[in-house]
Amino acid sequence: MGLPFLTKPVLFYSVRETHDPNMEFPDYNSWLKKQPFLNWYTADWDYGYATLYFFCGGIAFFMLANILGRFKLQGRSTIRTPVALYRYLSARQYYVARFDWYSPPLGQLLIVVAMIIFAVVLSFAKTTYYWPAPGMGHSPPLGTRTGWISIAIMPFIFAFATKVNWVGYLTGVHPEQLQVFHRWTAWIMWGTSLIHTFPFIVYNIKQGLMVEYYRTKVYYWTGVAALIPQTWLVIMSIGPIRNRYYETFKKLHYLVSFMFMFFLFIHCNYRLTSWHYFWATLTIWFSAWSARYIRAFFYNGLHHTATFTPQADNLTQISVPTRLRWKAGQHFSVRFVGMGAHAWTAHPFTAASIPDEAGKDSIVEFYSRGLGGITGRMVSFAAEGSATCRVVLDGPYGGYLVPMSDSDTVLLLAGGSGASFITPTLLDLAQRYESNASRPRKIHLIWAVRRQECISWFEFALARASKLLPPDVLQISIFITGNDTSDNVHDHDEKGSMDWGLEHMMGRPNLATFVERCASVESSSLGIATCGPSSFNLDVRNAVAQVQLDIASGKNKSCGLVHLHTEAFSW
């Protein structure tokens, strides 16, 4: 029977009636209505398919790059320059101080710009925006084409968003990195939706039909009803707003998204192939959702219990005994069943430990800083002493695309609790070194913390790694960056050359200097991993980008290839 709002009989798609015998136009107008990219009855093919081809073509391009990247071609001198240039694009980042905005990496930024240019050109290249005669149709060409562009973008918004991510599997890109495209495709769809809306308002106000149509035509009031939650979603995704109201955004995101999709579904009213995009979106979302929850609840199980232990500087250690396996650099989405309103919302945490031998129980450790919301609740919970809570582990996700163990020289950089990502990488390298599975020539870990007592967070892990690795291989440099210290430690040489021992320094590390020094060491490959605040990662990214340019230009002949992996504290 269908929904009561929909035009009856409800169909999967409407008939393509290409001629209305009750409307006769001058020859020019009749000719104009039937032109490609102006014909209402083929607009879904002209604009919807064009949008599909654009996005699918981009995914296919990076899928091919991923396949080629799996072959061991990177060591060949003939591709040293193109690889360095490609990695320059993935490293270079910009900071706009006026808006306190950190851009995506340059490569991602260029892809976003290409998306925007595509949407703008496809929307405005055909310069007939309104019909020259009122009787030629109630759907202005500009409104029609941007409607189809909007609806064709929709499946990709969901495709870029899911944790179990099919685009990520095809392209070799982690879901966290695809979040940039999730947010920007949502903004582009919102922009094309506004451009879709205004021509109808302008046309119907001129014809004196706006009030009547809003009251009687389902696709008018439902369009407004869909645009309101869509606007809420994109506005709330703005960094400062999202961070300020993160708990509210997280809880309402799915509810508001459902409202948006519900009204948009009715708004489309099965016109031509508009509902096909909903079936595609539903398939993408439901398959990813099913795979994720089947793994979390049935494979990983509901038997895990977490213990909360307070640490220095408002940090909480979360320890979960488990038989699950994970790799250094991966993370879990954790559901804390016993925490009231937060019980079934998932929260990402980096695994700060590595698993024991296969077949044995391990303890996966997470660290959380109390910043309000559930993290603040954890601080209070841990302070009670011997606090435990049943949890559901969803994952693991992420990790290194290029393992650090493949590099001759390894530089590990951590800011604050970012060491929870770096220390398991160091432990993994140490265990591989001991078992002869991998033998990097140099490993340098640099950790910047606010206070001396913060070292206790990972003191045991660092001591364990130091026992497994010879002193001529491992060097650990710890910087205490309290408010009474200088901005940078300008002269690292006064502490000696890189003797791969243990150093304690006061002040902030000059990250660019460390990157440059490691890149100047004669080696076939340099692996760099960084996890810290946005400003910390920005310095590392841009230092690595400069090294990539030096390699591409031939200025740096010491280092073969440089790979950078970055992790941030927050989404």
Query: Where do we find the tokens 């094309």?
Result: 192
Distances in Å between the alpha carbon of 494 and those of 497, 498, 503? 8, 11, 11
Tell me how many degrees the CA angle 227-216-189 measures, rounded to the nearest 5: 20
- Section 139-168 average pLDDT: 96
**Do residues 378 and 318 lie in contact, with contact meaning Cβ atoms separated by under 8 Å?**
yes
**pTM higher than 0.95:** no
**Residues 401-452 pLDDT 10s:** 888 888 899 999 999 888 889 999 999 999 988 887 777 889 999 999 888 8
Average pLDDT over residues 325-333: 92
pLDDT tens for 269-294 read 888 999 999 999 999 999 999 999 89
- What does the pLDDT average to over 196-208? 90
pLDDT digits (tens, 9 = 90+) for 532-560: 999 999 999 999 999 999 999 888 888 88
CA dihedral 27, 28, 29, 34 (to 10 degrees): 90
Spatial contact of 529 and 406, defined as CB atoms under 8 Å apart: no
Question: At the fourth CATH level, which superfamily is domain 300-398?
Answer: Translation factors (2.40.30.10)
Count of CB atoms situated within 10 Å of the CB of 280: 17
Question: From CA 227, how far away is CA 436, in angstroms rounded?
Answer: 59
Omega cis (within 30) before 533: no
- Contact predicate 394/292, CB 8 Å: yes
User: What's the rounded Cα separation, in Å, for the pair 136 and 130?
Assistant: 10
List of long-range contacts for 489-493, beta carbons under 8 Å, 24+ apart? none
pLDDT classification of 76: cutoffs 50, 70, 90: low
CA-to-CA dists, residue 125 to 128, 131, 146, 333, angstroms: 9, 16, 12, 44
| Per-position DSSP letters for 373-385, written without gaps between them | HHHHHHHHHHHTS
Q: In the chain, which segments carry CATH 2.40.30.10?
A: 300-398
Of 73, 72, 93, 80, the closest CA to residue 551 belongs to 80
CATH class of 404-568: alpha beta
Mean pLDDT of the chain: 85
How far apart are alpha carbons 65 and 173 in whole angstroms? 11
Which of 10-24, 366-380, 492-506, 518-532 has the least mean pLDDT? Answer: 492-506
Q: Of residues 42 and 121, which shows the higher confidence score?
A: 121
314: left (phi over 0), alpha (psi -120 to 50) or beta: left
The closest of 467, 373, 363, 455 to 414, measured between CA atoms, is 455
Q: Which residue would you say has higher pLDDT here, 371 or 176?
A: 176
Contacts 24+ apart (CB under 8 A), 243-248: 243/570, 246/373, 247/372, 247/373, 247/374
**From-to residues of CATH 3.40.50.80 in the chain:** 404-568
- Confidence at residue 133, expressed as pLDDT on a 0 to 100 scale: 79
Residue 492 has pLDDT above 60, yes or no: no
Distance CA 154, CA 280 (A): 9
CA distance 386 to 371: 22
Q: What confidence category does residue 347 fall into, taking pLDDT thresholds of 50, 70 and 90?
A: confident
**DSSP structure string for 451-468:** SGGGGGGSHHHHHHHHHH
Structure confidence at residue 500 (pLDDT): 40
Amino acid symbol at 367: Y
Query: Is residue 343's pLDDT more than 70?
Result: no
